[in-house]
Structure 1
Amino acid sequence: MLLLQLTSCTEPSDKPKASYQQVDEIADAANISADASISVISNIKSGIQVWDLQSNTQKFAWNNQEDAINTVTNIHIAADNSYVVTSSRETFTLWNLLEGEPEGYWRIDEASIRDVAVSSLGRGILVGRSNGKVMFFEPNTTRRLEFLGHQEKVNSVDISPNGFYALTGSNDYVAYLWDTRSGQVIHKFEHSSRVTKVSLDDQGRYAFTADSKRDAKIWDLTTGQEVSNLQYLARQRIFTTASFSPDGKYLLTGSPAKRMNLWDVTTGKELKEWYVSPRENSQPPTAVVYSVAFINNQQILSASSSGLVEKWDVK
């Protein structure tokens, strides 16, 4: 259980416990593993870097040999830390995180890639595209399934650790939880505007879906019923990342404007707010929060466009 003694909408904390510069330039994408032990970060000049967050040492440095320059905009680490999938707008690559080598490279010409996710053991890769289609692909068997439930551009995707369930959100105001074995819809989560971010609880308890206007909802995956709607005063809030705590009591989110927030899952109340660090001398002084993770009951991590991974205390 997280040991929190907080009140709603507390003042933001502006000092991280520790800060690690992982790329010198602006980062174009980053992801932190579910257990907060690994980060993968990308920018045009430095390529893709894999970091051991426990020792703060670089494990691997990757470049897509087929691409003239590194244009990776999406990164997702499998729940078991076995594989990483990265993508540009036209290509996606599966990397073996244990050996540090690529295991597959694929190009999609039909429509641009909007988001990607990979399951444990690299069993399945999910690819959301601008034409509304979502592809589920099994590298080992080459099995491919096209999910055609969405009517417009897909903005965000996530996959369960076992690869059996996908969560996808689109400009058609809908997020779907569906079975990757059959393509059958399990739950339909409706919004009043385009769905911009989705995230699954790795324990299979909850889903998070957020739209472009007012609603950011947590759903019960067993019943498909709404658990809570995040409570905030702003007319609009955009979320760039979201992660559930291991005990299922809290949700941690990031935004395009430095903001990172902790929420109570049951009530939707905001418990704590932090501002990640912008790049030095950047104008305007802001940063996109790409990824967040729980270290343990007392600390969390953030990775942002400033090229920093920062550690924060939960008090």
Structure 2
Amino acid sequence: MLLNFSKPKKYLLSVMKISVTLLLSGIFLLACSPSGDKPIERFQHAIEGSYAGNISNDGKWSVISSIHHGISVWDLEKNALTYQWAQKQDSSDNLVLAIDISNNNSHALTASRENFALWNMNTGQSEGYWQVRESNIRDIAVSNNGDYLLIGKGNGVVVHVAVDTGRRLEFLGHKEKINTVDMMPNGRVAMSGGNDFIAYVWDTVSGQVIYQFNHTSRVSQVALDSQGRFAFSADSMKSAHIWNLKTGKLITKLKGTKRHEVFSSVSFSPDGKTLVTGAASSKVSVWDVATGKRTANWRVTPKEANRPTGAVVYSLAFSDNNTLITESSSGYAELWRIPQAH
């Protein structure tokens, strides 16, 4: 068999309910006045930076993996630490480096290179733990209600898992390692990109390719609009595309992207007019979906240090069409007002 997961192991996970407080273990709220490219508000979620982070699609929840606090779940509307989860992290190769929250906020999926865990966001309890025995985990996605999991692996295989039945479908279209995956909220359509210069949109029931998007270098980021309007794919050089998910036709290419401007996060606005991207260079950019033009950009707060350092923008989400929340490796979540085009 090409698949080789262990059975779920719940005894390796622990969960703790956290009382609502803003002054816990050195974590506190910093408020900033809006000024130019400064955030409206800044929340410190990790005192010495984080390994990974994901914000829910509606901007209400954030899950981060950090040095001192394990996996932390934050209610962003209250800036309240709600849960702390413990997933086996016993070596530098086993740190939780990938996180995804389902579109309806019911579940979160967390993964290290070797294992992944499913969590119930309503109860705070674990619903399963699996270990990968072949290759390593590169990226993950979870559907609504935690029904389906998507695991992209270093051997070029993407695995779609139906949690209730245990059915596992392997997508074998890629020829080299997977860098990025995404999945529609119902779990029926997946997207993946790899080092073979290709992004695929594919059916998770049949494994059949729906669309193939070719790039000139390794595909570093893919994303599916949760409302089913768009797909996004970008490579490691300077090519980034917005596609019509219903037809597979190109809508636009992002204009003015820089060589090696590698995107680390992507989100579409609720009204479908705006795309925002985050980069490993701490840069956040706002793009017009129809024209592909960059309408604004700024940088998130870097990690505090004796000398200036950057920050990877792990995740970004719209709280409405004009307000954006970012979570970065510096340990800060930040609220931004998106400049309006004149």
TM-score normalised by the chain length of structure 1:
0.94
Letter in 2 for 1:68: D
2:123 matched residue in structure 1: 99
Which residue among 217, 220, 238 is the counterpart of 2:241? Answer: 217
Which residue among 207, 211, 232 is the counterpart of 2:231? Answer: 207
Query: Is residue 2:170 matched to residue 1:146?
Result: yes
Cα deviation, 1:166-223, whole Å, max 9, x if unaligned, reads 0000000000000111101100011011100001000001000000112000011111
Tell me the percent identity.
48
* Distance in 2 between residues matched to 1:154 and 1:13, nearest whole Å: 38
Alignment of 1:144-223 (within 5 A): 144-223=168-247
TM-superposed deviation, 1:22: 0.6
Letter in 2 for 1:42: S
Which residue among 90, 95, 111 is the counterpart of 1:87? Answer: 111
Letter in 1 for 2:144: S
* Distance in 2 between residues matched to 1:233 and 1:290, nearest whole Å: 19
Cα deviation, 1:238-286, whole Å, max 9, x if unaligned, reads 0000001111111110001110011011110001112100122254421
**SS of equivalent to 1:24:** coil
Q: Is this contact kept in 1: 2:107–2:118, CA < 8 A?
A: yes
Q: Is this contact kept in 2: 1:262–1:272, CA < 8 A?
A: yes
2:90 matched residue in structure 1: 68
* Distance in 2 between residues matched to 1:97 and 1:235, nearest whole Å: 39
**SS of equivalent to 2:145:** helix
TM-superposed deviation, 1:297: 2.6
TM-superposed deviation, 1:67: 4.0
Query: Is residue 2:318 matched to residue 1:294?
Result: yes
Q: Is this contact kept in 2: 1:43–1:71, CA < 8 A?
A: no
1:267 matched residue in structure 2: 291
Q: Is this contact kept in 2: 1:33–1:81, CA < 8 A?
A: yes
1:14 matched residue in structure 2: 37
Letter in 2 for 1:213: M
Greater RCO, CA 8 A, separation 6+? 1
1:9 matched residue in structure 2: none
Q: CA distance change for structure 1 residues 233 and 36 in 2, over 3 Å: closer, same or farther?
A: closer
- Could you say what the CA RMSD is over the residues aligned between the two structures, in angstroms? 1.3
Letter in 2 for 1:156: T
1:3 matched residue in structure 2: none
Q: CA distance change for structure 1 residues 196 and 100 in 2, over 3 Å: closer, same or farther?
A: same
* Distance in 1 between residues matched to 2:203 and 2:303, nearest whole Å: 41
* Distance in 2 between residues matched to 1:164 and 1:179, nearest whole Å: 6
Q: Is this contact kept in 1: 2:230–2:242, CA < 8 A?
A: yes
* Distance in 1 between residues matched to 2:48 and 2:184, nearest whole Å: 32
Q: Is this contact kept in 2: 1:44–1:71, CA < 8 A?
A: no
1:128 matched residue in structure 2: 152
Q: Is this contact kept in 2: 1:85–1:118, CA < 8 A?
A: yes
Q: Is this contact kept in 1: 2:238–2:257, CA < 8 A?
A: no
1:47 matched residue in structure 2: 70
Q: CA distance change for structure 1 residues 309 and 221 in 2, over 3 Å: closer, same or farther?
A: same
Which residue among 28, 49, 55 is the counterpart of 2:51? Answer: 28
**SS of equivalent to 1:121:** helix
**SS of equivalent to 2:320:** coil
TM-score normalised by the chain length of structure 2:
0.86
Q: How many residues align?
A: 303
Cα deviation, 1:48-100, whole Å, max 9, x if unaligned, reads 00000001101100001x44367100000000000000000000000001100
Moved over 6 A (4+): none
Q: Is this contact kept in 2: 1:13–1:275, CA < 8 A?
A: no
TM-superposed deviation, 1:236: 2.8
Letter in 2 for 1:196: S
Q: Is this contact kept in 1: 2:311–2:328, CA < 8 A?
A: yes
2:61 matched residue in structure 1: 38
